[in-house]
Amino acid sequence: MSGTTKGGVRYVLRLEGLCVLAAAITVYTKLGYGWGTFALFFLVPDISFIGYLAGSRIGALSYNLAHSYIGPMVLLGVGFTTVPALYCAGLIWIAHIGFDRAMGYGLKYSEGFGLTHLGLIGNQNRNRKFISA
């Protein structure tokens, strides 16, 4: 599958995700938000997996919408200027995305759940015959 990242670039992108996670947690801590709220909402973006019930194309679209930085950045902007609770939600969402990227879970391709921009995950990574050269 062309378009997937491998080698040193993949490790840099995963380290970048770890840095985003650390930065989001640091800001969250400095602002004094509650850890119960963080724990309660940290996995909310993974509800997007439900899209896979409608097939790989819809699943990848819903996953990518919930795992791109666009949505949480909008929340940060709105939260900073008007509704502070949205700022809190944006930080948790960004932390989730950073965590996923640090773990190697990238944005999905519609050809299959295990095909991501950060490389292969799951069974596809163990069985490379799934991908033709």
Q: How many domains does the chain have?
A: 1
Give domain status of residue 44, yes or no. Answer: yes
Confidence of residue 130 (pLDDT cuts 50, 70, 90): very low
Give domain status of residue 6, yes or no. Answer: no
Q: Among candidates 88, 38, 96, which has minimal Cα distance to 69?
A: 96
Structure letter (DSSP) for residue 24: H
Give domain status of residue 15, yes or no. Answer: no
Domain holding 91, by residue range, is: 34-124
DSSP conformation letters of 6-21: -HHHHHHHHHHHHHHH
86 and 74 Cβ atoms separated by less than 8 Å: no
Give domain status of residue 83, yes or no. Answer: yes
pLDDT digits (tens, 9 = 90+) for 67-95: 999 999 999 999 999 999 999 999 999 99
Give domain status of residue 76, yes or no. Answer: yes
Average pLDDT over the chain, rounded to whole?
89
Question: With 0-12 CB in 10 A as exposed, 13-18 as middle and 19+ as buried, what is 97?
Answer: buried
